[in-house]
Amino acid sequence: MLELQNICFSAATEEGEKEILKDISLTIDERFVAITGPNGGGKSSLAKLIGGIYTPTSGKIIYNGTDITHASITERARLGISFAFQQPVRFKGITVKDLITLASGRKIGVTEACEYLSEVGLCAKDYIHREVNGSLSGGEIKRIEIATILARGTELSLFDEPEAGIDLWSFSNLISVFEKMHAHFGGSLIIISHQERILNIADKIIVIAEGRIKEIGTKEEILPSLISASAPCRTLSEKVAR
């Protein structure tokens, strides 16, 4: 179980110190949790605080009873937390197989590594020995990152807009991967997304705007208001901002 207790986060900007998140308190132990809201509202910052990329200005983050507020990314990984970036990191000189092996934390063969690639819709023989560098498209590198999360098999996995850059890979396949992850590993998946089809699989939806929790509840309670017909031409992110 993940608990956020009175989390505040400020960052330096050209205009000076800016408060990004304001007194966020949450408990997450559901299977699928979606975090949505307008751009700039603090969603990705919250995910990065949970993942250990940022450190809160104040407040506590508790994971399975352990205070991880100041724990490093590596320490959190050892505790069973994975983080998938909106824009995944590229690694010149490291092959896809190397990356999946490193993610798994054990020695795995080509066959097993290929199975993870197949799960995310990539033809394994075309990718297994390629370098994780600029020759890969944004969609390819995104799917490879999701394959590494599968290989890790952690109890808590965070995905920052996992649908970004995978237009040629159907949403149904992406959702299927999430469902398989939970079936195999249990725990929780936290997904930052504006996509209605992803929000529609969530057990809990958290709406964040202007650094605060605007709404929180089940998809039955939250989703209808997000997709209400008051402004049908708006994107979902614009609707939650109003």
- Gap between the Cα atoms of 117 and 115, Å rounded: 5
pLDDT at 176: 80
The pLDDT assigned to 230 comes to 34
Per-residue model confidence as pLDDT tens digits over 201-241: 899 999 999 999 999 999 999 988 887 733 444 455 555 54
The tally of CA atoms less than 13 A away on the side-chain side of residue 25 is: 3
Structure tokens at 72: 């490093």
Angstrom CA distances, 88 to 99, 132, 145, 162, stand at: 12, 10, 7, 10
Model's pTM, two decimal places? 0.81
Nearest to 82 by CA among 24, 27, 146, 21: 146
- Range in 40-44, 182-186, 238-242 with the lowest mean pLDDT: 238-242
The beta strand positions in 96-195, using DSSP E, are 131-132, 156-160, 188-192
In percent, the amount of the chain with pLDDT more than 70 equals 89
**pLDDT for the residue numbered 240:** 52
Tokens 């995978």 belong to residue: 166
Look over the chain and give the mean of its residue pLDDT values, rounded to a whole number. Answer: 84
The pLDDT assigned to 242 comes to 45
* CA atoms of 136 and 13, how far apart (whole Å): 32
Of 199, 234, 239, 240, give the one whose Cα is nearest residue 220.
199
